[in-house]
Structures are given as structure tokens and as C-alpha cells.
Structure 1
Amino acid sequence: MDQTLYFILLLIGECRQYHFINDGKTWTEAQRYCRENYTDLATVDNMNDMNELNKYAARVWIGLQRASCDKWQWSSGEHALYRNWATGQPDCNDECAFMRSGQWHEGQCSDNWSFICYNANTGLIFVNQAMNWGDAQSYCRQNHTDLVSVRNQNESQQVEKILKDNNSSGSHVWIGLFRVRDSWQWSDQSDSSFRYWETDKLIVIRENRTWSGALRYCRQNHVDLVSVHSEEIQRRVMNVVKRASTAEVWLGLRHSCSDKKDNKCWPSGEPVLYLNWATGQPEGRDYCAVMFNGEWHDLACFDTRHFICNNSEFIYAFTIYQILIRVTIF
């Protein structure tokens, strides 16, 4: 957290009144001051709140901070309030969760393991077929209700029982838990996911890398491979893509499901709501997306191309938890 001295905006009670503190402090000092003297640093729920904040000084602290680990959510859309992680988990290196010996572990979503579905009519169903997390989720939704949610100790015991009955209690078994890549949280721990970030900064990397190599580079040196989630971002990408030397440039979209019409999410966690595929695209069943002549095309992920990173968080002005419900991620 940047410790630059800024003024403070704090939150007073449930009526969401803001009070301007004309005293330069670090973010941590500002949080402590607000909690000791009022309620907490300011939470921003909507554009009305933003307009209210804009009446004050040009730069003030608000209560948004980056969490130590991204948020976890069930495939059904419910918050993961109950936790049963193994020691040292989660370490935030992977994005999907499996159960082994009664405890949860992070796993690579591309790994192929058996899994447990939930059926609203018949209960839990153990599926002894090795699939990646996204394919397991699609299978459960198409044939039952969803991948299993483990929301309390009783449900955890039910899952352990069905694994024991199928001689799989020590195996890696997918459950419906995945990591949401919105690692920011409000100081007062509220569920507000309203975001209003400064305009994105796009960086063209003139190095030939595979899609995975490009993703790794962007996350290590910037924020992520670019997500094109609106016409506005599409136009910005088209403006900067001219700086690349390759005709095709990697975008952040990858699809590894057998059903090519089942749209996936961008690496940043945003659902695919905006599409700009060229005619006849996508063709493949396991592909990564590139931009070519202003349109999207599929390309084998192990090919090498230049790519675009974004160097700041995207403008979030929607409720991510509501919009992710029933959306499949890869």
C-alpha cells in the first residue's frame, strides 16, 4: 500500500455521510484515525457516492485496499464464507480448488481430476471422469445443477462421505470453488464491488511469446494481459496495436472447453460480455485469442506473438458477484 500522505474521507455510521479531514496521513494512519473517532474510511457504493466525494479535495484516501489474497466464490455464485483450507492454503498461485483428505487445496484449473456435482433433486453425485475444472463445471450444469458447494461443516461431511463411499477420499477431487480476480476490498469489509478506476494504460510488448508466456510476463511486470470487455477498450487496443511488429497480437482470452460457444472469462476475472470475433471465428476447440485487423481470431496457444498488457486496474462500475453467477470460467 502506497504510504503517500493524502487527506482523508471517512464514513460516519450507516447513513453514509462523509466527513473531510484536513490532515495529511498515510493510509494506515487514516484508517486508524477514522476507526477511533468515527466508523471507518469511506466506502463508495455507486456514482452518487462518487459525485459526493468529488466535492472535496482532489486527492483523498478512501477505504479501498488490495487484499492479501484474491476472493473466493462458489460456482453457484455464493460467497465462500465457510473455509476448510489445508495448512498453508490458499497461497494464491492457482485459481481453482479441489478437496483431498477432507481439506481444500488450490489447483491449476487445467488439471484433469474427478469431481462432485450437486443435483437439486437427488443430492451429491460423484463423477469418476477426469476433467479440467471448467469442463467439470459445464458437465455438472448440463447434467445436474452445478459443481458442489461446501458452505458449512455438515456439507463438508457429506462430501467426505460420498468420496469415502467411492474410495476416493485421498484423491484430488474438484469442488465448485474458484478465485475471483478482484483482489480489492473495502476497509469496513462491506460487499460493495463498485469500482471507478482511472482510465487504463495499455502497453504493447514487442517480444514473441506464447500465450502463457505473455500472461506470465504481464502479471510479473504490469497487471495482466489485456481484457477487451467493451467497445471503448476495443478502440483503445486498436489504437495501440499498431506499435506491434506482428500482424496478430495476443489478447487475454483463452478457451479450453469442448463447447466453443460456451464463452469463458478474461484472466482478470471479468466475464465475457463483449465479443468482437471475425466472421467464422472462433474455429478451434482449444485456442487463445489474438487481434488481427481489428477483429478477434483464434490461434494455437503455443504459437508466439507480440502482446498487450494493461498497467492499471480496469474501470469497475458493476457488481461482479451478481454478474458472475452462472458464468463459466476457464
Structure 2
Amino acid sequence: MDQTLFFTLLLIALCSVSECVQRQYHFINERKTWTEAQRYCRENYTDLATVDNMNDMNEMNKSVNDGGAQFVWIGLQKTGRDEWEWPSGEPVLYLNWATGQPEGRDYCAVMFNGEWHDLACFDTRHFICNNTNTGLVFVNETLNWRDAQSYCRQNHTDLVSVRNQNESQQVEQLINIMVGATKSPKSQVWIGLFRVRDSWQWSDQSDSSFRYWKSGEPNNSGGGENCTAVNAQGEWFDVSCTNQYSFMCHEDKLIVIRENLTWSEALRYCRQNHVDLVSVHSEDIQRRVMNVVKRASTAEVWLGLHNYCIMNMWLWVSGEIVCYQNWAPGNGTKQENCSLEKRKGAVQSGGDQRWISLPETYKLNFICSRY
């Protein structure tokens, strides 16, 4: 077999995505109020613990259970937010509401005849999940929005996000194939859009919308329950911020370096001072990148993404093939002549934070992985 073809097939065979926890959790067995715990975590680590998904929950729970504490502070605190967002925590930049929508009474959204409508979250509808490996998945059973999201998170990635016109057309096309373009409620299909009015926000300003409240919580029993603690089973409770509990800090595994360096200089910096330029081989890591890249001072930020000209393909500096992809339109295509302009991968620090290819001599901020 031709060596080039063999190498290509080998890389494709190795293209497996593993979920990777991108925070390190530290259990602090000292009793403090929520504000005191926040100050301690910010001085010694990154912040009070943020939780993005069940992988984070399981990782954090190992430490919580080892500590044997009844309650443990995490970084979720009540604020005054009232806005629509996607399950990943991304703001809604692309709008596709039907005329007169949203009405403001309901907190979840369906796609109906190609447009969005708000609907009571307890209504039951078909729904569409997004799967990092296989794409869109239409689920032919009816659940309420919360149960639909749980189903998607357990079996795929999450309820589908519709962040631009191209994604909207793909979702509409799948609905038309599965249930038809009718005006019956059957063609109203849950998407991941929901209204954040639980007024809770993470201490590190993360966009994570993940919640794991115990049934009946938050209940603001007696008033003034504005902070969040977890029990030994990992269930969340709203409690008074002045209570004194042990607490959980986290340390981000990604860090934005606000120095303007070429790609090669950035790679050298990360390897000398941390571990490497970041490799974004899953949607989970992309969400972490989206959280930290907001701190950058340049419009684009280097990733550990480079074009391997001999094979005419993109690879991560960690050696992984680019399986999960988040390219902006017109980027990530094959290079006809690599000798003309060597290009590397960067992520946009604003907008929808897609990947773009740039000449490696550009000087940008960059993201290092610390573990």
C-alpha cells in the first residue's frame, strides 16, 4: 500500500474523541462563608468550582465524597439575569423568532415552520439532539424540555443549538423529513434555546448553564438563600451565603497569554512555561476555550492547530487528527501550495468564536494548556 495512503488511513482510525476534564478540582476542608471561600479560591487557585457537565460533576464528587462533609460550597450564586441562551452557555447572536415571538410568558423554545416560538417547558414535544460524532439526531418520542435535554446529554451531546442560518436550515430540513412541514403541534420540535430566569451565575463568570439541583430546589426557604452548596451525593441546594461550609475550588487547565507572539513563539512559550498550545479535540474543550478566550486582547488567538503540508491535512500539536471541527466558513480547506504561505489555526475571540487559518507570522495572544 502507498505510504501516504497508509498514513492517512492510520490517522483516521485513531480519530477517537475522549471526554477530557479541563479543570482540576481542589477540596478545601476549612469552614468558611461563601464569600470567604470565593476569596480563598481566587487567591490560591482560579475560583470557586464551576461545573459544566456530568464529567465535571463526577470528577468533583470524588473529592467531595472523600472529604465527608455534609455540605460543600460551589461557585453558583443568585444574580439578576433574564435572557435567552443555548445549552453551552453561548449568547444568542443569531435570531430567528417568528413574528410576535417570544411572547415572554414561557421559558423554552421550539422550531416550528423554520422559526422559533416560546413554549411552556412542561409541554411534551419531539426534539433534536446534537452529537459531536454523528451530527443531528431526531428523537421520535415526546418529552418535556428538561427531560429532552437530559436524554440528549445522556445519549448524545446536548439539545441542538441553532447559532446561524446554516444550522437553522439543517434543523428545518431534518424536521421536514421526520414529521413534515405541517402546522400541527407535531411539527413543533424542541431546540436547546431556553430563557435564563433562575438568576444564578458562576463566580468565574462562566457561561455554563449546567444545573444539578435536588428535586424541589432551589426553593429559597425562609428567604435569602442566594448561594449553592452540594451534598455528598452531588445534589445542589440553595442556602444562605453566611453559612460556613467546606468548599471546592477549581484550577483552569487553559490559560490565555496576553502577549503577541508568532505561532512558533507561542508554541515555545507554552512548552517552556506550561505544557503545550491547546488542542481542541472535543466540543467540551471548545466550550472551555470560548470561556477563556474572552480575556484576550487580540481579535484572534492562536491554538495548537497546524497544517501538515505533506499530507495536506490539519493536525493538533498533541498529535491528534482534527476530528471535532469548528471552522468558520471558508477556513480549514486544503492548501494547494504550502510553500506559498504556512498557515496555522486560531480562534476568534469575539462573535461565534470559530476557528480560522492565518499566516504563522501573525503576532497574537494564545492559549496554553497547563496539564
The answer to whether TM tops 0.5 is no
TM-score by length of structure 2 reads 0.34
Larger RCO: Structure 1 or Structure 2 (Cα < 8 Å, ≥ 6 residues apart)? 2
TM-score by length of structure 1 reads 0.38
